[in-house]
Structure 1
Amino acid sequence: MNTTPWTPVAMLLALLGTAPVLAADAPRAEQGRPGKGLSEIPDPELNLMRGRYTVNGTSVAWFGVTMVSQWQAGNQSAQSALTLGMDFSHGTQAPKVSFTPSVTVTAADAPLPVTPGRSVDSSGLQNVAGLTQSVQVAGDNNVASNSTQLNVREGSAPPASDPAGVQPAVVQQAGVQQASAQQGGVSAVAQQDGSSASVKLDIQGVGQVQQWIRNGSVGQSIAISSDGQAVRNRMQIDLVRQTLASSGSLNQNVAQAMNLVRGVGIGPGQ
């Protein structure tokens, strides 16, 4: 079964702390006090029991991410942005995916600064898992910022937005949807391939700005090797949860699960 469209959601849920966590050892009952004869439940058993008794749970109804990367130096500017939405509210295995990119480059014909002897290297960030924010600067009078916001709420999927007049020409090749703009030494790219999404700005001789979300990693990176640059990364992640209604079959499954582990951890004489 192809689970590619689910990958960003699975990765996000892992970042939110749903990875397995073993329970801490419980203190033994003291001699002569109520509860004598009880024995500890081993951590592996506790780990297997987590979540078995949840009757009313929640499911992901909608997952969305917005990324905006901006660069400006004098009259020159570039922006790469995208919105990616995954609608799970239809009850099908594969979500309904929407992708809206936006890329602009202005006044790119102006000469870019020449700063020989300066360099930054951010290639190692590709090996970092989890949430990454990086700012590398080799210059003076620069302004750079990374900001990430996570919104989790209960409710229903938001209405689909109309991309008319906003979305540029999108090229799709080998499963990759991409929008790009390039003038002179400045380029802007926004793309998604079903398992990852990213925006990127390249300014020749000045630096690189990028954001990404992929399996096991969410990141923002700014690398500047010039003077007087203003760079901003902004990311917003939205997760809408929907309460699952209780049903007779679900209650029956809970009762069966309780019977399966009845008596686990009870010592002799109990």
Structure 2
Amino acid sequence: MNATKFALLALALTLALPAVGAETPQKPGKGLHEIPDPELNLMRGRYTVGGNAVAWFGVTMVSTWQTTTGQSLQGAMTLGMDFSKGGNVPKVTFTPIVSITDANAPLPDSSGRSIDGSGLNNVAGVSQSVQIAGDGNRASNVMHLNVRNDGVVPGVSGSIAGNATAQSGDASAVASFDGNAARLQLTIQGQGAVQQWLRSGSVGQSVQLTSDGQLVSNRLQIDLVRESMAGNLPLAQNVAQAITLNRGIGGIGGQ
């Protein structure tokens, strides 16, 4: 139900934007100051309007790929951002896992087949894509959003682990986080790629296959925990806190 309300609210705000943009610009009221575009550009959405602050933001990604030759590629990652302790930056945790099982037969020839997903780099918001140049393949992209308002942060311990990579012949698996974007990618040269990502303004899943009989899946889950702020805080103070907490995530520094 929370996820449905969240989606409906986002849709309502989106539909309202054209009408707002058509109005004649007005000067801000007395005692109020416009926030300049450079300042707005640094906001990352860690503040929720309506008396609720984000206490926890977590992402879990799992990708699997089973080939007809018996080769298996697997990758997973968990990324958590704990805002419950206050301060200017969240406590960030990142745990990646990747593995590859060798094939027991040569890879099939897929020459002459091609796909192009470069346009996905320009997509904002949520995107899911499946591109297949082959027969007998099974592919799935699944995404879940869980929203809780109880303020209870998951008891996750740890820190930012290093990026995880695995390589076996033409197959590779990578799970990475650079402070600005998280990415999970499985690739077999000449056969395709399976990807998931979270970056500024975009979250997505992509399957690209140029072979036959492949079995692949992407699963992504976003967990958002909100907590109520003190109702007697002045509006100006709430706005000031929002601007402070929403500065670029690139400066987390691993803690």
Q: Scaled by the length of structure 2, what TM-score is found?
A: 0.72
Cα distance between partner residues in 2 of 1:142 and 1:243: 47
- 1:84 is matched with which residue: 79, 83, 89? 79
What is the Cα deviation at residue 133 of structure 1? 0.8
Give the number of equivalent residue pairs.
Answer: 210
- 2:203 is matched with which residue: 218, 224, 247? 218
**Per the alignment, do residues 24 and 224 of structure 1 end up closer, same or farther by CA in structure 2, a change over 3 Å counting?**
closer
- Per-residue CA distance 1:123-146 (angstroms, 9 max, x = gap): 111111111111000110000011
What is the Cα deviation at residue 161 of structure 1? 4.9
Q: Which residue of 2 aligns with 1:205?
A: 190
* Structure 2 counterparts to residues 1-270 of structure 1, below 5 A: 16=10, 21-22=16-17, 57-74=51-68, 75-108=70-103, 110-155=105-150, 156-161=152-157, 170-171=161-162, 178-247=163-232, 249-250=233-234
What is the Cα deviation at residue 110 of structure 1? 3.8
- Letter of the aligned partner of 1:103 in structure 2? V
Cα distance between partner residues in 2 of 1:253 and 1:157: 24
Q: Percent identity?
A: 54
What is the Cα deviation at residue 212 of structure 1? 0.5
Greater gyration radius: 1
Cα distance between partner residues in 2 of 1:144 and 1:43: 48
Note if contact 2:93-2:158 (Cα within 8 Å) is conserved in structure 1: no
**Per the alignment, do residues 57 and 114 of structure 1 end up closer, same or farther by CA in structure 2, a change over 3 Å counting?**
same
Cα distance between partner residues in 2 of 1:253 and 1:227: 59
Q: Which residue of 2 aligns with 1:265?
A: none
What is the Cα deviation at residue 221 of structure 1? 0.6
What is the Cα deviation at residue 251 of structure 1? 7.7
Note if contact 1:108-1:184 (Cα within 8 Å) is conserved in structure 2: no
Cα distance between partner residues in 1 of 2:142 and 2:205: 8
**Per the alignment, do residues 245 and 144 of structure 1 end up closer, same or farther by CA in structure 2, a change over 3 Å counting?**
same
Note if contact 2:195-2:206 (Cα within 8 Å) is conserved in structure 1: yes
- Letter of the aligned partner of 1:142 in structure 2? N
Gapped regions of structure 1 (runs ≥ 5) = 1-11, 26-41, 50-54, 172-177, 255-270
Note if contact 1:135-1:222 (Cα within 8 Å) is conserved in structure 2: yes
Cα distance between partner residues in 1 of 2:128 and 2:169: 28
- Letter of the aligned partner of 2:58 in structure 1? G
* RMSD over aligned Cα atoms: 3.4
SS in 1 for 2:120: helix
Cα distance between partner residues in 1 of 2:95 and 2:192: 25
